[in-house]
A and B are shown apart, each in its own frame.
Chain A
Amino acid sequence: MSRYSKTLVFFLSLWPLYVISYQIIFNQLGPEPVDRIINHFGEWTLIFILLTLSMTPLKKITKSVEWIKFRRMLGLFTFFYASIHMLSYVGLDYRFDFEPLINDVLKKKFIFIGFSAWLLLIPLAVTSSERMVRLLKQNWKKIHRLIYIIGIFGILHYIWLSKTIFFKPLIFLIILVILLLFRVKITRSASKI
């Protein structure tokens, strides 16, 4: 059973791709298709950040280390969807017209912070392999703590681009705060021992 669980999670993680393919093929993207595609992948990026951050708390709660084996895959899916999100913005919305894009990145804080979050994901993706874990030893953990900052940046990106925080951005924010509070608790209890 658990032998196949990774494969199962892999195919489940492709869900956002199935959905968008269906919507493209059957013309279900709605009145603002470009926006729909960008938002779809943006939202799924955030969901995958939250999923990635859920594995350690789940390990603690269920007292089962099973969860940790999905963490790398979920993290890489985060990078994958973040990249599609960014590329659809750059390519589909702005047609690789870099002048307004650079302007946006520098002047608009929600784009600046979103782009920063994507840049920060790169070192995590690059150092995700087993070999890198061994090579970097203690530093690996330090580098991968970046995911907390990425999570905060990602949610801020969402809040800042929305006209109002109600309700989706607020829900994402609450879940992130809960997941981050787990870390505070975990490190505290760890330091006690």
Chain B
Amino acid sequence: MIKFKNSEITPENIYKKRRSFIKSIGLSASTLAMSAIPFVNKSLASERDKLTSYKDITTYNNYYEFGTSKSDPHRNSQIFKTTPWDITIEGEVEKPIKLSMEEISEMFISEERIYRLRCVEGWSMVIPWMGFSLSKLLSKVNPTNKAKFVEFESVYDPAQMKGQRYPVLNWPYNEGLRIDEAMHPLTTVVTGLYGKKLPNQNGAPLRIFIPWKYGFKSAKAIVKIKFVENMPTSSWMWASPREYGFYSNVNPNVDHPRWSQATERIIGEGVWAPRVKTLMFNGYGDEVASLYSGMDLKKNY
């Protein structure tokens, strides 16, 4: 799904040379001397499309239900029970439905989808998800003409999810999309990664993933999908409406009120790797920019 510009891809020999050069410098070089190397030209930074390692994807997570530190979800989610699991699709629909995870895996074939993930905190990964377009799942119901938005509700289970015992966020985790965003083919229902079952810390058994939005929009462990008439208030909007808007599209020109969004750090690239420039719509502008034509993205952050 990712489109590469030729200029973005480093020829393999240069890539390897650069690697061996970095290795040869080793640890003896002083931090300051190395860090004096300025931002690497974008054309050399093909790292941005290299898959992030399975280990990094599964041990570096923001999943506050299992704790606020990045290593907490991996540590605290291992005994989380994901069977049985039902998902209801309800709200402004003609006939609400309830599907079990088994039914969903039978009904829809998951394919590999490699997408960039850009966290609102300023780091990014490239993840080979397994999944299918959310539009396929949503087509199982007929929304009424009142339906304008889709709301996602994550599981609420403080007995199993330590983080939910504290008022860190307005539990259960809640997210939302406009219907046209939800129906966009890039909006994915995720069931796995790296060809394997989705690990608990990544949102098992089922999450959504919206590649052109900041990571927190992609709700994990979903139990309810609801068609609604009014714009839902997501958990993060509820926590800080000034900082987290409903749209939360990746946008290097609109800073988070407290930090810049112009650049990002690629996970797994090591101490010496420079920040890279963040791309509009996380690089998916060709596919999704038309959803927002005529909208002031500074106001609709």
Question: Would you call A155 an interface residue if the criterion is a C-beta within 8 Å of the partner chain's C-beta atoms?
Answer: no
Question: Would you call B258 an interface residue if the criterion is a C-beta within 8 Å of the partner chain's C-beta atoms?
Answer: yes
Question: Would you call B166 an interface residue if the criterion is a C-beta within 8 Å of the partner chain's C-beta atoms?
Answer: yes
| Candidates A100, A110, A164; contact of B262 at CB < 8 Å | A100
Mark each residue of chain B from 160 to 177: 1 if its CB lies under 8 Å from any CB of chain A, else 0: 000000101100000000
Given A29-B271, A108-B259: A91 in contact with B35 (beta carbons within 8 A) = yes
Question: Would you call B123 an interface residue if the criterion is a C-beta within 8 Å of the partner chain's C-beta atoms?
Answer: yes
- A31, A94, A104: which has the most chain B beta carbons within 10 Å? A31
Contact B258–A110 (Cβ < 8 Å): yes
Query: How many B residues, CB 8 Å from partner?
Result: 34
From B15-23, B36-44, B103-111, B289-297, the one touching the partner chain is B36-44
Contact B268–A31 (Cβ < 8 Å): yes
Question: Would you call B270 an interface residue if the criterion is a C-beta within 8 Å of the partner chain's C-beta atoms?
Answer: yes
Question: Would you call A33 an interface residue if the criterion is a C-beta within 8 Å of the partner chain's C-beta atoms?
Answer: yes
Mark each residue of chain A from 17 to 46: 1 if its CB lies under 8 Å from any CB of chain B, else 0: 000000011000111111101000000000
Assembled-state Cα–Cα distance A29/B71 (Å): 12
What is the distance, in angstroms, from A163's C-beta to the closest C-beta of chain B?
A: 7
Q: Which residues of A contact B260 (CB under 8 A)?
A: 100, 103-104, 108
Given A30-B60, A33-B271: A97 in contact with B39 (beta carbons within 8 A) = yes
Contact A109–B258 (Cβ < 8 Å): yes
| Candidates B120, B258, B275; contact of A161 at CB < 8 Å | B258
Contact A92–B265 (Cβ < 8 Å): no
Question: Would you call A11 an interface residue if the criterion is a C-beta within 8 Å of the partner chain's C-beta atoms?
Answer: no
Mark each residue of chain B from 250 to 265: 1 if its CB lies under 8 Å from any CB of chain A, else 0: 0000010011101101
Assembled-state Cα–Cα distance A34/B35 (Å): 11
Contact B169–A31 (Cβ < 8 Å): no
Q: What would be 27 A-B contacts, judged by CB atoms less than 8 Å apart?
A: A24-B27, A24-B271, A31-B60, A31-B70, A31-B267, A32-B60, A32-B123, A91-B31, A91-B35, A92-B31, A92-B35, A93-B265, A93-B275, A95-B35, A100-B260, A103-B260, A104-B259, A104-B260, A107-B255, A109-B258, A110-B258, A110-B259, A161-B258, A164-B168, A164-B239, A166-B168, A167-B166
